[in-house]
Amino acid sequence: MMLTVRRVFFAWDYDKQIAWLNEMAGKGLNLVKVSFNKYVFEQGTPGEYSYRIEWLKQWPTRPQSVSYIRFLEEAGVEYVTSFKKWAYFRKKTSEGAFDLFSDLDSRINHLQRLITLVICLLPPLLIVLILNLWLWAEHRQIGNAVASGMLAVMLISFTAGLMKLSKERRHLKNERILRE
Amino acid sequence: MKHPFLIFGIDNYIVLRYNCVVLRYIGGRYIGGKRMAESIVLTEAVYYILLSLFEPLHGYGIMQKVETLSQGRVRLAAGTLYGAINTLLDKGWIRALPEESNSRKKEYIILDEGKRAVINEINRLRELLDNGERITGGQGK
C-alpha cells in the first residue's frame, strides 16, 4: 500500500527532512520515491528502517557517486532513491545505529556543500528581484510589485536558511579545534 | 600563549607539525613554514583503519574490526570511511586489491608507506603517554 505526501523541504532544513522521514518510518511508512514536492511511502513494519540523506558531491549517475553508493551498499547501507543530487539511504534498525558521517570533518564538508548550493541560488533571485523592481518603477504594473514582494520573501528565507547552515558549520568548526 | 595546535582551523585528516608550528596539509602540498623536522598526527579513525588493513579487508570488515579493536568506542560511519579510504589511496598508504570476481567486495591492504605512518604514530602516542603518566603520577590507569 502506497501513500503520497505533498511536501517541500528546503536544503537548509535537511535535518528536519531526516527527522520527518524517520518519524514516518517509525509509523511503518517507508520512503521509496522522491520528487520535488512529492514523497511516496510504502506501508511496512513500524520502526524497521532508519533513514539518512546526503547531498552528493556529484550527480548519482556520475562514476564517483556510483562508486560511493556501491561502497555504502557493501557496508550494509541501502540506497533508496535520489532526487537531483539528493541521495536517500536507509538501514534496518535491527542492524544497529546508522549514520553516514561519524566525524566532524565529514559533517563540515557536507554542510559546506549545502552552503555552496544555497549561495548559488541567491544571485539569480537577486537579479530577478531587481529586474522586477525596476520594471515596477518604470511601468507601475501591479504584477511587478507582486513578483517583487514574493521574490523578496524568497530571498529573505534563503538568506535565513544560509545563516542557519553557516551557524551550524561554525559551531562544528569550533568543536573541531578540540576534538575530531 | 595559545597552544600552536589551535591557531589554524583543522579541516583535513592530517595535520603536519613543524617545530610547534601547525600547518595545513592540503592537496599534497605544505602551506607555509620551513621544513625542519616532520611529524604527522593521525586521527583516531585513520590510525585504526590502517591497523585494520595489515590484513586484506573490505569496507564493512574495516568498520567491524575498528569497532572490535576499540571495544565499541570508535564507530566508523560508511560515508566517513569512504572519504578516509580514498585519502589513504591517494597518499599511497594503502592499495585496493584487484577484484577477483564481480560478487566479491573490494578489499584493501596497507602499503609500506602506511606501515611507516603507523609506526610513527605509535611513537608519537608513546611520547604523549609517557609525559602524561609522568606528570600526573600514573593516574592514567
Touching check for A76 and chain B: CB below 8 Å? yes
pLDDT at res. B106? 87
Distances in Å between the Cα of A36 and the Cα atoms of A11, A29, A67, A135 are 12, 19, 25, 31
Residues A32/A42, Cβ–Cβ less than 8 Å: yes
Over residues A53-67, the pLDDT tens digits come to: 999 999 999 999 999
Distance in angstroms (rounded) separating the CA atoms of residues A177 and A165:
19
Q: Which residues of B touch A173 (CB under 8 A)?
A: 9, 11
Nearest to A74 among B6, B12, B59 (CB): B59
Kindly give the pairing relationship between strand A2-6 and strand A29-34: unpaired
H or E stretch including B86?
Answer: helix B78-91
Does A77 lie at the interface with B, CB-CB under 8 angstroms?
Answer: yes
A111: which 3 cell numbers?
554542510
Which member of B44, B78, B83 has the closest CB to residue A75? Answer: B78
Average the pLDDT over B109-115 and give the result: 96
ipTM: 0.83
The alpha carbon of residue B11 is apart from the nearest alpha carbon of chain A, in Å, by 6
The type of residue at A34 is V
Cα–Cα distance between B58 and B81 in angstroms, integer? 11
Cα(B59)–Cα(B85) distance, integer angstroms: 9
Q: B73-86 pLDDT, tens per residue?
A: 999 999 999 999 99
Per-residue pLDDT tens over the stretch B25-73: 544 455 554 444 467 899 999 999 999 999 999 999 999 999 999 999 9
Chain A, window 80-99: residues with a beta carbon less than 8 angstroms from a chain B beta carbon: 97, 99
Q: How far apart are CA A139 and CA A144, in angstroms?
A: 9
In angstroms, the CA A58 to CA B120 distance is 36
pTM reported for the whole predicted model: 0.80
